[in-house]
Amino acid sequence: MRTANQQLLMTWFDEVWNKGRREAIAEILGPGFVMRDGDRQVEGVDGFEAFFDQIRSAFSGIAISVDSMVGESDTVCARWTASQRHTGAGMGVQPTGREFQITGITIVRVENGKFVEAWQNWDALKMMQEIGALGRAAGA
Domains, in order of start, for the chain = 4-26+39-116 (3.10.450.50)
Distance CA 28, CA 77 (A): 16
Distance CA 63, CA 121 (A): 17
Low-confidence ranges of the chain (pLDDT < 70): 135-140
What pTM did the predictor assign? 0.90
Residue 135's pLDDT is 57
CA distances from 111 to 21, 52, 107, 120, 125 (A): 22, 22, 14, 18, 32
Mean pLDDT, all residues of the chain: 93
**Strand pairing class (114-122; 99-111):** antiparallel
Using an 8 Å Cβ cutoff, are 75 and 105 in contact?
no
- List, for residues 72-112, the tens digit of each pLDDT value: 999 999 999 999 999 998 778 899 999 999 999 999 999 99
Q: What is the layout of strands, in order, in the sheet containing 59-72?
A: 40-43, 29-37, 114-122, 99-111, 75-86, 59-72
Residue 92's pLDDT is 80
CA distances from 29 to 63, 89, 139 (A): 21, 27, 40
Residues 128, 129, 133, CA angle at the centre, nearest 5°?
Answer: 60
